Amino acid sequence: MGTKTAAILLTACLLLSACTAAKPESAATSNNQTQATSETSDNTDKGQGTASSPTNSSEQAGSNHGNNSTAQTTPQTGKTVADSNEATNSTATVNKTYHLDKAYNVVPNQQGAEKKVVLLTFDDGPKEAVMINKIIDILDKHKAKAIFFVNGYRVKEHPELLKLIHDRRQPIGNHSWDHIVLKNKSEAEVKKQIESVQKIVEETTGQTPVFFRPPHGAGGDVGRKVAKENGLLYMTWSVGSLDWTMKKSQPNKTDAILKNVTEQLHPGSNILMHELPWTTEALDSLLTRLEQKGYQFVDPQSIEVPAS
């Protein structure tokens, strides 16, 4: 009887010892899981959860640079103001504060609107993601918008570049399909040149352009007619940067662009530029100079367009 009791007591002691040894391992596992969850949460809050690597991809470049702010426009001046607190996919409502006169200058619709404004435009794209991103980086720095007048054949070759411009919240204009002189073409040919661009831009971005600039500033009466039928505001320009006349080897191109624009500058200037390397290099200095002269950058959305 004494032997059985001793055996039972020995077995109980062994079981108790095993249970006591298992508890620290279980607790350690639980603590490690909690710490891992906490670190993951901390990294997510600090933006460290996902690593990104540099890329030359147009689509990825657009995403990396893209919609970190939503542009709002003051109805009185049309000057854009970035508001990073708003949702990035919202669309600002902009009053139609301005119209274009017969010389394609930007003119206020009523008293009290800022007169000392300029409209920024870039023709003949889209060309290169690096250049587009640099231009838009500078525009964003100055809280400015510009119309990017695109050619259809370029969009067909690189639709991702058009999407880049759209995703970075810059207005897109129609510059015809082939960049040809339209004024002597038939109405059927002009319709094809203009409406094909409307179609491909809508297919790529979900929106159709509302601004049209004929190549070489030569659209003729038929160009005006077809533009109006498509709800497009026809325009050429009132200030030329003359960047298109410059050669790669020409020295001091930045100074030349600044001189060309500022010598012609006046309230309501509709400034023609192009997607060119030297224009991109001159842009920050140019916009700074315009601001120093008291000019503001009109939001193209605040300009009246015809009903189709």
What is the domain-level CATH number for residue 201? 3.20.20.370
Q: Is residue 12 part of a domain?
A: yes
Q: Is residue 308 part of a domain?
A: no
Same domain, 23 and 111: no
CB 164, CB 126: distance < 8 Å: yes
Task: Give me the pLDDT at residue 306, please.
Answer: 86
129-141 vs 159-167: helix crossing angle, rounded to 10: 10
Q: Is residue 164 part of a domain?
A: yes
Same domain, 162 and 13: no
Q: Is residue 113 part of a domain?
A: yes
Rounded to two decimals, the pTM is 0.71
Task: Give me the pLDDT at residue 51, please.
Answer: 31
pLDDT-flagged residues of the chain (< 50):
3, 5, 8, 11-91
Same domain, 12 and 85: no
Count of structural domains, the chain:
2
Which residue, of 30, 51, 72, is where some domain finishes?
A: 51
Same domain, 156 and 186: yes
* CB proximity list for 121: less than 8 A, separation 6 or greater: 146, 147, 148, 149, 173, 213, 237, 270, 271, 272, 273
d(CA 292, CA 241) in angstroms, rounded, equals 18
CB 207, CB 218: distance < 8 Å: no
Q: Is 178 a catalytic residue?
A: no
Task: Give me the pLDDT at residue 93, please.
Answer: 72
Q: Is 82 helix (H, G, I), strand (E, B) or coil?
A: strand
Same domain, 175 and 220: yes
Same domain, 36 and 73: no
Q: Is 227 helix (H, G, I), strand (E, B) or coil?
A: helix
Task: Give me the pLDDT at residue 249, please.
Answer: 95
Q: Is residue 307 part of a domain?
A: no
Same domain, 297 and 196: yes
Task: Give me the pLDDT at residue 307, please.
Answer: 77
Considering the candidates 123, 124, 140, 243, report the single residue annotated as catalytic: 123
Task: Give me the pLDDT at residue 94, please.
Answer: 82
Nearest of 69, 81, 138 to residue 299 by alpha carbon? 81
Written as six digits, the tokens of 60 are 């990825």
Considering the candidates 65, 142, 166, 274, report the single residue annotated as catalytic: 274
- Tell me which residue range forms the domain holding 116: 58-302
Task: Give me the pLDDT at residue 45, please.
Answer: 34
Nearest of 69, 203, 62, 81 to residue 132 by alpha carbon? 62
Q: What is the pLDDT of residues 223-232, one digit of tens each?
A: 999 999 999 9
Same domain, 192 and 44: no
C-alpha dist (Å) from residue 278 to 2, 81, 233, 254, 286 = 104, 27, 29, 7, 12
Same domain, 75 and 171: yes
